[in-house]
């Protein structure tokens, strides 16, 4: 598959994915870039590592923005997890530290597994009966006492 076909496939996949699948795709992308950064640090290619780490930070930032801002315990904890991952990746960027990359990777791997299970549950849920067709909206009656308007186009002056 050439690059344009790959891009078309990815665009189609993104356009047809539900929100859980999109979330999973972001996490998988972050893990892929973390692996690239880790390998670049092993090769002592700091520029390549930093470029990959910036991509991870951008993805984690999007994940963090996607967390619903409410006082629900799960939302608060999820936001804290993503903030921790962002901090660890930032430290890896500044210090070229592979240990903190492993910390971020561990959290994202757990998140990936959680979102895979969520995607399976969403895919397994089938509606028991089709949703009823929407009722047509009622046409408001004119507020003035006037004769009904005939439909059609008239070219008379």
Residue 107 lies in a domain: yes
Of the pLDDT bands very low, low, confident and very high (cuts 50, 70, 90), residue 120 is confident
Residue 151 lies in a domain: no
Distance CA 89, CA 56 (A): 7
Q: Which two tokens stand for residue 1?
A: 């598959």
Distance CA 26, CA 32 (A): 10
> Strand, helix or coil at 9?
helix
**What sections of the chain are H helices per DSSP?**
3-16, 19-42, 46-65, 73-95, 98-124
Of the pLDDT bands very low, low, confident and very high (cuts 50, 70, 90), residue 99 is very high
Residue 67 lies in a domain: yes
Residue 82 lies in a domain: yes
CA-to-CA separations, 104 to 11, 65, 109, in angstroms, rounded: 27, 18, 9
Q: For the residues 117-125, what does the mean pLDDT come to?
A: 80
For 12-47, how does the pLDDT look when each residue is reduced to its tens digit (9 = 90+)? 666 666 888 888 999 999 999 999 999 999 999 999
Distance CA 128, CA 114 (A): 26
Structurally, the chain folds into a number of domains equal to 1
CATH of the domain at 117: 1.20.120.340
User: What range defines the domain where residue 54 resides?
Assistant: 19-124
Q: Higher pLDDT residue, 32 or 67?
A: 32
- Residue 63: the pLDDT is 93
> Strand, helix or coil at 136?
coil
Residue 143 lies in a domain: no
């Amino acid at each position: 598959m050439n690059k344009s076909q790959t891009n078309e496939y990815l665009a189609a996949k993104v356009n047809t994915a539900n929100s859980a699948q999109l979330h999973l795709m972001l996490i998988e992308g972050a893990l892929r870039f973390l692996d690239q950064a880790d390998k670049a640090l092993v090769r002592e290619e700091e520029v390549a590592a930093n470029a990959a780490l910036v991509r991870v930070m951008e993805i984690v930032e999007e994940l963090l923005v996607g967390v619903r801002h409410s006082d629900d315990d799960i939302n608060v904890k999820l936001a804290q997890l993503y903030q921790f991952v962002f901090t660890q990746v930032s430290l890896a960027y500044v210090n070229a530290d592979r240990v903190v990359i492993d910390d971020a990777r561990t959290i994202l791997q757990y998140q990936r597994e959680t979102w895979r299970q969520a995607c399976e549950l969403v895919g397994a849920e089938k509606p028991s009966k089709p949703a009823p067709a929407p009722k047509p909206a009622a046409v408001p009656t004119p507020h003035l006492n006037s004769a009904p308007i005939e439909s059609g186009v008239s070219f008379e002056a």
